[in-house]
Amino acid sequence: MRIVYQDTKRGIIDLVPETLDDLWNLSHIIEPGDMVSSKTTRRIQDSTGERLRSDRGIKKTFFLGIRVEEMNYHKYTGKLRATGIIEQGPEDLVPLGSHHTLDLKLNYSIKITKERWSRWNIKRLKEAITASKKPSAVIVAIEDDVADLGIIRQYGIEYYGPITGSVSGKRVIQKNRKKAITDFFTDVANTLGNLKDIQSIVIAGPGFSKGDFYEFLSDKYPEQAKIALVESTGAGGRAGIGEVLKKGIIEKMATEGRIAHEMRLVDNVLGEIGKSSNKVTYGKSQVKEAANAGAVQELLVIDDMVRERGIEKVMNVVENMGGKVMIISSEHDGGKQLASLGGIAALLRYSMG
């Protein structure tokens, strides 16, 4: 996420989403009643108003502002759509006051105007911006004894390499060849180990080296192997990295990683409930009471509830008293389980009984 312009006194933030996670965050930041403006493309018919079957009109691109009534994020296609009443736009091209669905796209400027930007909306934006400075994933394109790395950052790809080994041809003594392969794999693994905050690794390539490297990680660097997967490509090097990117694997892994983390948090709550523990509570009134007493260590709130003013106050109280607040997506099973508990639950520092 990148902020282009910000004037919170007037309630305006102009930003550019750069990843699917950014669009997912925006689907919960943009609320009914907000004004959202972005580029849109429409087919415009001729001025006579006549529409022939063969006349599909002329495509025109322009900025359009709508007063939002509904937001829809399609998790399988990664599309974010805002539906509402047109309030801003060229009057000769669009009828003001009519309904329109605005597609909010990656790398396109989106201006959001709110009457009030909540602390949690601002925090969510800041976290997305901070994430853009961290490498979320790395692609290792490996072929024989050459490895290229593509470090995925929200602003683009940072290439590193090639890392080369000294594995020679068939005439090399088997013992020497085995050592050369081990040395090469160690160099690649150590390079990966020097990267901070990596959430996932894709090991790609056209031959057997990618599988051998994964087995090496599993044996010698199990922490790296836990976040790695193997993907076949037709080429190594930057061409292989490009193939992985085109398949959309990185976006899928990032989403799955976030979901896995959120589901673990919900499982912790369910585990405490299953043990009839006194260090867990759920439901609006019970959690509010615990928050006001300073007893909440970790608060879980389903994303659909964050917009509620009363819930926002509870979140602020918990954070002000040193607790953690985690927003859980309603799109996965963990979110559905939290919804069945009233959409809000808390792990406590001490028993309230």
Domains defined for the chain, CATH in brackets? 2-41+61-131 (2.30.30.870), 137-247 (3.30.420.60), 258-348 (3.30.1330.30)
Output the CA–CA distances (angstroms, integers) from residue 351 to 76, 336, 344, in the order listed.
41, 26, 18
Distance (Å, whole) CA 141 – CA 202? 8
Q: Which amino acid is at 10?
A: R
Q: Which amino acid is at 227?
A: I
* 85-94 per-position pLDDT tens digit: 999 988 778 8
DSSP code string of 7-57? ETTTTEEEEE--SHHHHHHHHHHS-TT-EEEEEEEEEE--TT----TT---
Mark the ranges of the chain whose per-residue pLDDT is less than 70: 44-57, 75-78, 131-136, 153-156, 167-175, 197, 251, 254-257, 353
Q: Return the DSSP state at 235.
A: -
pTM above 0.75, yes or no: no
What pLDDT score was predicted for residue 75?
A: 63
What pLDDT score was predicted for residue 173?
A: 55
Other Cβ atoms within 10 Å of 60 Cβ, number: 13
What pLDDT score was predicted for residue 53?
A: 46
Other Cβ atoms within 10 Å of 4 Cβ, number: 11
What pLDDT score was predicted for residue 121?
A: 86
Strands 296-302 and 324-328: parallel
What pLDDT score was predicted for residue 48?
A: 52
* Two structure tokens written together for 303: 């994303």
Helix axes 174-193, 209-220, angle to 10 degrees: 70
What pLDDT score was predicted for residue 308?
A: 79
What pLDDT score was predicted for residue 40?
A: 85
What pLDDT score was predicted for residue 175?
A: 62
What pLDDT score was predicted for residue 261?
A: 79
Distance (Å, whole) CA 345 – CA 296? 10
